[in-house]
Structure formats: structure tokens, C-alpha cells
Amino acid sequence: MSEFKNFIEDIIDGDLASGKVSEVYTRFPPEPNGYLHIGHAKSLCINFGIKAKYNGKCNLRFDDTNPSKEDVEYVESIKQDIKWLGFEWDKLLFASDYFDVMFDCAVKLIKKGLAYVSDETAEEIRQRRGTLYEAGIESPFRNRSVEENLKLFYEMRDGVYEDGAKVLRAKIDMGSPNLNMRDPVIYRVLHATHHNTGDKWCIYPMYDFAHPIEDAHEGITHSICTLEFEDHRPLYDWVVQNCDFPKPQPQQIEFARLNVTNTIMSKRYLKKLVDEGKVLGWDDPRMPTLSGLRRRGYPPEALKDFCERIGVSKANSEVQESYLQSCVRDNLNRTANRVMAVFEPLKVVLTNYEGSEILSVEDNGNAEVLTYRDVPFSKELYIDRSDFALVPPPKYYRLKPDGYVRLKGAYIIHCDEAVTDENGNVTELRCSVVHNSKSGEDTSGIKVKGVIQWVDAKTSVDVTVRKLQSLLTDVVDGVTDFNERFNEQSMQIVTAKVEPSLLSAKIGDRFQFMRVGYYVLDKDSVGSKLVFNEIVGLKDSFNAVK
Ligand code: ATP
Ligand code: MG
């Protein structure tokens, strides 16, 4: 956690200093209509970060006031993702549990003469709403008596009216420069079954009315949301004040949502990809969902580090995808064990080596505590084809005819002969091992500049590797439509030979395939049939000082 304060924390400091609040209470309010994505991680980090910094509290509240599209699957996935990030909520709540509170608030407003039942259609309301330059026109139902309004509102609740036949509107100001204050609809008739309350209700509160009530009812002090809600803040405050919630009343604070280049944050489009089978599911390792990033092998600490580094601001912007990757790489460089994998195998036969031995090779030189693993070595090995050049360019430090190279964690070898087929393609290298050059006990005196990875031919394991790219291609010629930008090349399946130590890896274990990139063992692995997802490459393409 950084010691620097963002603008939200400055506000909180002020509220604590002035005595407006004595403790800090935030909430994370997802609508259970999809999986959480990287954008939600930012909101989670802000809300739970404040809880941690101020020794406060943070609720997980499912915002399920909209009856049509909620799903238990989403509720469970959201809980799992928040836990994965390492956050602990204080209370687990469902906004639909407060329908009675919301109803009572509406009745209170009617009794105060601050809400009225209207028979206007949605279209009529829209037409009379006015524009940014023109005041709205008052509803013909605006001056119904309190008694009539109460009777009609109870009838709405009791199922007397069809969907859309009547609404409850707040009575605020049709001349307000803020369109949200022009008598907004706060309740509508909707005969729909709710996943939590069943058929108890046939009227449902609108978001702008429900949300402040949820916050105030829970005693939330700072209600943090994204910038689109800035214009709704006066209505938020109006609801809290006129429903007579006790002090301290919650305060809405807006911040800029996270956008990442070539990354989809629209739940609707993500769902479309899942429904159309374009991806393996919500947790496809290419998806920007938290479950996708988890399967991709992104460590939760790296995501939190990313959210911390990009900071919190009031100005919308787009963060480079490569910046996120660079946070992931930083983390893996410290935490992931190095292993050897060969993607384009080229056979090496050591003509002066007989039998086999088990070498002890360091897992990660950057780790705080060094650990070692067993790596079998014998007469026949594979190296990567790209590590041998028949006609080497200048300063080529890998293997070449009559050249030396060190096999990582093993010996120096010398290339005696490159065997070629009738087309001149190299099919096998015949090499000799320098016997007194074993890593850690080298007395050969031979200086080699190149160190390459290898695997033992007999014991190496063939695995499936998914090479991954963004789901979206770059914007070309102004084409921004997601459907046209779907990257058909985003997952390429290749094979590799890996050292046998990987047979004991567990799903989710992350590795650096030496000199290639970072990979994670995927849940599609069965027995010795291993499947790896590419997490991120080794090279950092992000340039902070552009
Ligand atoms: P959608 O409109 O696709 O349904 P949403 O933004 O409404 O998505 P919610 O489930 O309502 O999703 O969001 C829960 C919380 O996460 C909200 O407080 C919202 O402001 C925040 N959030 C959502 N997307 C982002 C983002 N890209 N950056 C930061 N915060 C976000
Ligand atoms: Mg929402």
C-alpha cells in the first residue's frame, strides 16, 4: 500500500478532521449480471484499500434491484474473485433485501408532497423532459393530492396496474439545469419474478433512487462510483436528505473508470463472446475477467500493484495493456521458477557421453530462498532449433559448427558435426561434452558466452501450449466496433518438450520457460497431458518515458 494519498483519501482525511465522520465505511456494489473484470479490480482496490488504510469497513453488496437479469452463477463468481484478490468484506448484502425500506422511503416522500404518481407513458415523460437548453414541462399529474398519490401508489404495489401504466416520480424541479433533477421516475410497475423476493413485488425502484437508500441504510460514509454518475450526485443527495436518514449521511465521490487498450470492459460484449462460443468461457485465459486473468496466470498481487501504480484520478484515460503486463512480469520475475522447454526441437547426440545422470538445477536465482530441482541428463538431448546456426551471423554466441555453448545447469558442449538431409536442412547435431565443465564445478577453462536451454530426449514430456494475444486487434482505419476487431489469431496452439519436473506441477503453478516467457499450468491438463497458457513474454514492450 502506498503512503501517498489520492484525492478520495484527501476528502476522507478532511471528513475525519472536521468530525463529519468518525469511522470510514465503503462498499463494493456489483450488479450480478456478469463476471468481474479488470475494471472492477480498480474499484475493489479503492474501496478495500480505504478500508485497510483507515481501519474501516467495506461491504459487498449485490445490487440486484433489477429483476430481469440476475444469476446465482454470477454471485458465486464475484465472491470467489474478490477473495482471490485477498479482500475480505464486512457484510455480504443484497440490495433486494431492502425493498421494504425503499417502499417506506417512497411513501415518506409522497406524504411530504415530494413524490407523485403519474399516468404518463415513458415517451410522454421523455418528451416533456426538455433539453439542456430548454426547461421541461410539468406533468399533468404533478399536483395530485397526497391522499390520491398514496392510494394510487398502494394500488401500484398491489398489482392493480399493468407494466408501464403508472410510475412514481420525485417532485423536484422541471426547470433544473440538471436533467436528472427534472422529476425523475423513482418507481415503476414491472410484473416480473425476482430471484430473491419471488413474486412479492410488482413495482421496482429505479437505480438512482435505490442506490442512495442502500448506502444510507447500511451507514456507508463514502460511496465511491465512476464518473458517469457525477451528474446524478444532486439526486443522490436529494434522496438521502429527503428520506431523513441520520447523520453522517453518505457522500458520493466519483473517479475515472479504468480503460485498458485493446481490452473489452463491456459485460454485454463479453457475454456475447461466451454465448457465441468465441472463447472457452468467462474464464478463458484471454478474457479481461478476473477469472480469465486468474486462469491466464496473472498473480493477484500483480493486479493490485497495477491498480496502485495507475492511481486514482478524475480524468478519463486509457492505460496501455503493456503496462499491466509489465506489472505481471515484475511479479513473476521474483516469484516464478525457471524451467526448460524446447518449442522447436533439434536433436543433439553427445558422442562422448554414456549413461545418464540427475543434475540439480537452481529454480530461481531471484528468489529469497534458493531451491533446486532434479533434471535428468543423458546422451540424447533436444535444444531449440533457433539456438543453432549453420551459417552464424557475426557475434553469434549460441551453437554453431565447431563452436561451444553451455547447456544451462549442465555442461559445455562442442558442435562437431551438423547432419543435414537432402534439402540441406539440419536434422541432428553430433556434439561432444566437455567433461570437466559441469555447472558449479567447471575446471575446463573454456570461456563461453552463450547459455541455452535443453531437455533430455528420453525423459522430456510433450505438452500443449496456448500462445495468447489480445482478443481485440488494434484500431485500424477508425474501425472501433468490437465485432469487427475480434482477433481470430488470439489463441494459437503449439507443442513443446519440457523437462519432466513439470509432471508434478499443480494447476495454476506459474513458470518461466527459460529464455521464452512465462507460462501457467491450465485446468484442462489431464494426468500427464499438460496444457500451459502463455502468461506474458519476457521482454518488456512498455516504455514508461515515452
Ligand atoms: P456494466 O455497465 O457493464 O453492467 P458496471 O460498471 O455497471 O458494468 P457494476 O457491476 O455495476 O458494473 O460495477 C460494480 C462497481 O464497479 C461499480 O461501483 C462500478 O463503478 C465499478 N466499475 C465498473 N467498471 C469499472 C471500471 N472500468 N473502472 C473502475 N470501476 C469500475
Ligand atoms: Mg452497473
Q: To 10 degrees, the CA torsion angle through 476, 480, 481, 486?
A: 50
Cell matching residue 102: 425503499
Cα–Cα distance, 534 to 524 (Å, whole number): 14
Q: Write the residue with the smallest CA distance to atom 4 of ligand 1.
A: 267
The verdict on the CB of residue 40 being under 6 Å from ligand 1 is: yes
In order of 91, 520, 535, 544, the CA distances from 327 in angstroms are 31, 16, 12, 12
Q: Write the residue with the smallest CA distance to atom 1 of ligand 1.
A: 267
Cα–Cα distance, 292 to 278 (Å, whole number): 14
In three-state form (DSSP H/G/I as H, E/B as E, the rest C), the secondary structure along 474-511 is: CCCCCCCCHHHHECCCCEEEEEEEECHHHHHCCCCCEE
Q: Write the residue with the smallest CA distance to atom 23 of ligand 1.
A: 40
Cα–Cα distance, 220 to 376 (Å, whole number): 60
The verdict on the CB of residue 408 being under 6 Å from ligand 1 is: no
Q: Write the residue with the smallest CA distance to atom 18 of ligand 1.
A: 225
Residue 97 belongs to what H/E stretch? none
| Known active-site residue 267 | yes
| Known active-site residue 406 | no
CA–centroid distance, 212 to ligand 1, in Å, is: 16
Closest CA to 12 of 305, 244, 239, 248: 248
The verdict on the CB of residue 288 being under 6 Å from ligand 1 is: no
Residue 3, classified by CB atoms within 10 Å of its CB into exposed (0-12), middle (13-18) or buried (19+), is exposed
Question: Which ligand 1 atom is the nearest neighbour of the CA of 32?
Answer: 10
Question: Which ligand 1 atom is the nearest neighbour of the CA of 37?
Answer: 24
Residue with cell 518515458: 545
Of 27, 43, 214, 258, the one to substitute when testing ligand 1's pocket (max ligand atoms within 8 A of C-beta) is 43
Cell matching residue 290: 478476473
Per-residue pLDDT tens digits of the chain, which is 546 residues long: 556 789 999 999 999 999 999 999 999 999 999 999 999 999 999 999 999 999 999 999 999 998 866 678 899 999 999 999 999 999 999 999 999 999 999 999 999 999 999 999 999 999 999 999 999 999 999 999 999 999 999 999 999 999 999 999 999 999 999 999 999 999 999 999 998 999 999 999 999 999 999 999 999 999 999 999 999 999 999 999 999 999 999 999 999 999 999 898 998 899 999 999 999 999 999 999 999 999 999 999 999 999 999 999 998 889 999 999 999 999 999 999 999 999 999 999 999 999 999 999 999 988 889 999 999 999 999 999 999 999 999 999 999 999 999 999 999 999 999 999 999 999 999 999 999 999 999 999 999 999 999 999 999 999 999 999 999 988 887 777 888 889 999 999 999 999 999 999 999 999 999 999 999 999 999 999 999 999 999 987 655 433
Active-site residue, selected from the candidate residues 233, 267, 294, 304: 267
Protein residues placing their CB within 5 Å of the ion ligand 2: 31
The verdict on the CB of residue 378 being under 6 Å from ligand 1 is: no
Report the predicted TM-score, pTM, of the whole model to 2 decimal places: 0.94
